[in-house]
Amino acid sequence: MSRQIVSIVGGKEAASATAYESTNPARTGEVVARVGLADAEVFAAACRTAKEAQREWAKVPAPVRGRVIASIGRLVEANAERLARLVTEEIGKPYAEALGEVREIVDTCDFFLGEGRRLYGQTVPSEMPDKNLFTFRNPVGVAAVITAGNFPVAVPSWYLVPALLCGNAVVWKPAEYAAASAHAMYRLFTASGLPDGVLNIVFADGAETFEGLERALDEGNVQKVGFTGSSEVGRKIGELTGRHLQSACLELGGKNPMVVMPDADLDLAVEGALFAGFGTAGQRCTSLGTVIVHESVHDEFVERFARAVGAARIGDPMGDVLAGPLLDQKFADRYEEFLTWIQPHHKVVSGNVGRISKDNPHGDFDGDQGLYYHPVIVDGVRPADRIFLEETFGPIVGVTTFQTLDEAVELANLPGYGLSSSIYTTNPKNAFGFREGVSAGMVSVNNSTSGAEAHLPFGGNGKSGNGSRQSGMWVLDQFTRWQALNWDHSGRLQKAQMDVAEI
Ligand code: UN1
């Protein structure tokens, strides 16, 4: 029997307005959870509840909040396999990756539990005698967190864990097609000692969420929005929060380039391109978009890359495979549209295209049971092509050539995203030159565009985000606001800029 799931606000189940079924993409039609979707009012009410609960939570000493984060980490670790299996069942992510994703929650908790004993402020010299200046980090208040379903538990933890540690309350709206995974993670978090109302989960569709968020912002009940998803929706969230003079932490799409220099280890580059382009079926925001390969090694690289893709295992995500199915029917439909961007001047070098079936198999895999798609390499991509310029969330990688490093950097930056990037080279001069010129927030040398570690700043520029960073200590600036304290113990009114001490 499939699970029944509804929103939870202030520790209690909230009303649902419509019904939704979250299904297993590896076995189309198999329902994983029946989800009650809430309306805008439930979202706005959750923000009111969160605001109330936040006042008390902020009074809990930060080291004690850190201990709650520690408990969350241990509980998630103890339930890692169960949670990973559910992630695989619900979104078709290969089990090894799903387990890695759960590991990333634990890593995030491990990092932030200690931050509870730091959350440092500063002492700052004053320009006047007998006066002390200090800075404090204060919680922002209520964070509305809206997340995608391709990383249904790890990426939400990047918001939830630091937000809670810093003394904020959270209203979390996960993707409905990953509702069961989100709900299971929510249960582990709240079983670890969070008071009711500090973390709330609301399942709702995009339109109701947007309306509910607007209402909550109008009512003054949301001070920060964390959003992971498309650049298109990110722009709307940014506008909405901006109109209310609040800020958003936006983690959006990517068209992530991989540059292959003539001095690269080509086997390593092929392995990297295979994982970055087709691991997770190309459905990471950090997935490889275009390989920009030096013309002198182009033919050799493409031949080896195509061979590797032909040999890659696609199939049941519980097995030892490079990729399973696409996330959900909605994503499969969109991916089919991306395939129409392939032009007559392009050369598909990877073999078959489209949905894997008995008539269109990948090796001996007929894929008939699920939303499985062929990994596609498109060679001869030009800078004006849609396939070069726009994110294609799914297993499709373009290839183009360059002559000089400057040209490679220009091509890497051309689509206007700026999330992740990578260069394969054995020459540090090329690596540093690329790092300096590329507009991406993340750069890898001789490694995949995807697979960031949980304690480095994660985030992008341009169409990939508004410059905010998640993860590591950098995310503290998203979930706290600096407060300056002036303390004058001179016993007289000293005026800044007017009573500056002279020597
Ligand atoms: C995403 O797809 O939204 O760096 C995030 C990576 C993962 C996170 C991807 N750890 O590829």
Mean pLDDT of 423-433: 98
- Ligand 1 atom 7, closest CA: 451
Separation of 286 CA from ligand 1 center, angstroms? 6
Tell me which of 89, 90, 251, 391 is the catalytic residue.
251
Compute the distance between CA of residue 424 and CA of residue 422 in angstroms, rounded to an integer: 7
pTM of the model: 0.97
Coil vs helix vs strand at 264: coil
Alpha-helical (H) ranges within 438-499 are 476-479
Separation of 251 CA from ligand 1 center, angstroms? 10
Ligand 1 pocket test target in 249, 256, 285, 444 with most atoms within 8 Å of CB: 285
Mean pLDDT of 357-379: 94
Q: What is the DSSP string of 69-108?
A: HHHHHHHHHHTHHHHHHHHHHHH---HHHHHHHHHHHHHH
pLDDT above 90 (res 499)? no
- Ligand 1 atom 6, closest CA: 451
First to last CA, the chain: 81
- If pLDDT is split at 50, 70 and 90, which confidence band does 75 have? very high
Compute the distance between CA of residue 267 and CA of residue 308 in angstroms, rounded to an integer: 10
Separation of 449 CA from ligand 1 center, angstroms? 9
Q: What is the pLDDT of residues 309-350, one digit of tens each?
A: 999 999 999 999 999 999 999 999 999 999 999 999 999 999
Q: What is the pLDDT of residues 13-51, one digit of tens each?
A: 999 999 999 999 999 889 999 999 999 999 999 999 999
Q: Which atom of ligand 1 is nearest to the CA of 453?
A: 10
Separation of 208 CA from ligand 1 center, angstroms? 26
What is the token pair recorded at 239?
A: 């506008």
Ligand 1 pocket test target in 252, 256, 275, 286 with most atoms within 8 Å of CB: 286
What is the structure's pLDDT at 108?
Answer: 97
Mean pLDDT of 54-70: 98
Q: Which atom of ligand 1 is nearest to the CA of 454?
A: 10
Ligand 1 site: residues with CB under 6 angstroms? Answer: 150-151, 155, 228, 284-286, 450-452
Q: What is the pLDDT of residues 113-154, one digit of tens each?
A: 999 999 999 999 999 999 999 999 999 999 999 999 999 999
Compute the distance between CA of residue 384 and CA of residue 450 in angstroms, rounded to an integer: 25
Coil vs helix vs strand at 405: helix
Q: Which atom of ligand 1 is nearest to the CA of 251?
A: 3
Separation of 50 CA from ligand 1 center, angstroms? 28
Strand partners, 458: 470
Mean pLDDT of 436-449: 98
Q: What is the pLDDT of residues 146-182, one digit of tens each?
A: 999 999 999 999 999 999 999 999 999 999 999 999 9
CB distance 401 to 294 below 8 Å: yes
Name the nearest CA neighbour of 408 among 294, 305, 300, 302.
Answer: 294
pLDDT above 70 (res 194)? yes
Instruction: State how far Cα 123 lies from the chain centre.
Output: 35
pLDDT above 80 (res 71)? yes
Rounded to 5°, angle at Cα 405 from 404 and 411: 95
- If pLDDT is split at 50, 70 and 90, which confidence band does 1 have? low
Ligand 1 pocket test target in 450, 464, 468, 471 with most atoms within 8 Å of CB: 450
Separation of 38 CA from ligand 1 center, angstroms? 28
Region of residue 12 (left: phi > 0; alpha: psi -120 to 50; beta: else): beta
Has 251 been annotated as catalytic?
yes
- If pLDDT is split at 50, 70 and 90, which confidence band does 469 have? very high
What is the structure's pLDDT at 371?
Answer: 97
Residues in the chain: 503
What is the structure's pLDDT at 426?
Answer: 98
Q: Please, what is the average pLDDT of the chain?
A: 97
- If pLDDT is split at 50, 70 and 90, which confidence band does 61 have? very high
Separation of 101 CA from ligand 1 center, angstroms? 9
- If pLDDT is split at 50, 70 and 90, which confidence band does 391 have? very high
Q: Which atom of ligand 1 is nearest to the CA of 448?
A: 11
Sorted by sequence, the CB contacts under 8 Å of residue 64 that are 6+ apart come out as 116
Whether ipTM > 0.90 holds is yes
HSE on the CB side for 474, CA within 13 Å? 13
Q: Which atom of ligand 1 is nearest to the CA of 285?
A: 2
Coil vs helix vs strand at 486: strand
